[in-house]
């Protein structure tokens, strides 16, 4: 008969219902973990299976988000969430980013920011520096690349307040 630790291991492996079945067959009194009683196996399985169900991440088009924002402004966040079947945190987040949602294509689903750096001259210089160092067989660290980017930004008269050398 599996104990609480074994039931937890079954649960983590996605076999919790099987663990309850084993414990029911192993003794005359069904048990599941620490719970005991005639219906403990059934209730424990239901609770644990509900916790195990993974919710699929959904993405919504900007057109849909605009409708939700408009409804939320008229009726409130919770009511709009209930009407459209989305989580309230999404409604709050969409209202916070209303200007970017309203300023994009209706079919756009995500906002990931710019795909290129803000200063392409610096990017090109750092990339050529990287290639030179690798051709000679030297190891190039993130730290070294960041320092080179800062030097190049300074030589191009880019203000420190506008330039940040990232790791990627």
Question: Stretch 142-152: mean pLDDT, rounded?
Answer: 91
Q: What is the pTM of this model?
A: 0.41
Convert the pLDDT of each residue in 94-144 to its tens digit.
Answer: 999 998 888 888 888 877 666 677 888 888 999 999 999 999 998 889 899
Cα–Cα distance for residue pair 79/85, rounded to 1 Å: 10
Cα–Cα distance for residue pair 86/99, rounded to 1 Å: 20
pLDDT at residue 162, rounded to an integer: 85
Query: In terms of pLDDT, which residue wins out, 16 or 75?
Result: 75
Cα–Cα distance for residue pair 86/95, rounded to 1 Å: 13
Convert the pLDDT of each residue in 5-31 to its tens digit.
Answer: 444 444 444 444 444 444 434 444 444
Cα–Cα distance for residue pair 118/24, rounded to 1 Å: 64
Q: Is the dihedral of CA 151, 117, 103, 75 positive or negative?
A: negative
- 31 three-state secondary structure: strand
- 38 three-state secondary structure: coil
Cα–Cα distance for residue pair 10/156, rounded to 1 Å: 60
Cα–Cα distance for residue pair 156/149, rounded to 1 Å: 11
pLDDT band at 65; cut points 50, 70, 90: very high
DSSP 8-state secondary structure symbol assigned to residue 54: P
Q: How far apart are the first and last CA of the chain?
A: 52
8 A C-beta contact, residue 2 and residue 19: yes
């Amino acid at each position: 008969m599996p104990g609480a630790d074994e039931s937890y291991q079954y649960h983590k492996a996605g076999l919790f219902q099987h663990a309850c079945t084993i414990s029911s067959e192993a003794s005359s009194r069904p048990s599941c973990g620490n719970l005991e009683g005639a219906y403990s196996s059934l209730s424990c399985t239901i609770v644990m299976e509900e916790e195990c169900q993974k919710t699929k991440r959904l993405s919504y088009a900007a057109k849909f988000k605009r409708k939700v924002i408009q409804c939320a402004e008229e009726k409130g966040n919770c009511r709009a969430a209930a009407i459209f079947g989305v989580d309230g945190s999404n409604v709050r987040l969409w209202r916070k980013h209303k200007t970017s949602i309203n300023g994009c294509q209706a079919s756009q689903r995500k906002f990931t920011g710019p795909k290129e750096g803000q200063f392409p001259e610096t990017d090109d210089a750092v990339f050529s520096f990287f290639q030179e160092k690798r051709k000679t067989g030297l190891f190039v660290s993130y730290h070294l690349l960041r320092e080179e980017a800062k030097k190049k930004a300074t030589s191009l008269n880019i203000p420190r307040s506008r330039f940040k050398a990232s790791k990627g």
